[in-house]
Amino acid sequence: MQVNIFEAKTNLSKLLEQVAEGKEVVIAKAGKPIAKLVSYKEIPAPRKLGLWKGKVWVSKDFDEEEPEINKLFYGE
């Protein structure tokens, strides 16, 4: 949907309701788009490397297969 600046000022609340429903609203000046109203999406904070360093222990044989568990999956 495209509206001019006057319509945007006059109907801002209604336009924001439409944006909240997922629609995009383009605001134009003299018929040329100058701004777009879109729904706000929270950007998650970047993950920090090494956050769990020293807090997690992994056994040296972690990757080794356990014969009894393999029997449950694959049979004998």
Annotated domain spans of the chain: 2-37
Which of 4-13, 27-36, 43-52 has the lowest average pLDDT?
Answer: 43-52
Rounded CA separation 32/11 (Å): 19
What's the number of CA atoms in the CB half-sphere (13 Å) around residue 75?
0
Residue bearing tokens 């568990």: 69
Q: Is the pTM of this model over 0.85?
A: no
Residues 3-29: pLDDT tens digits? 999 999 999 999 999 999 999 999 999
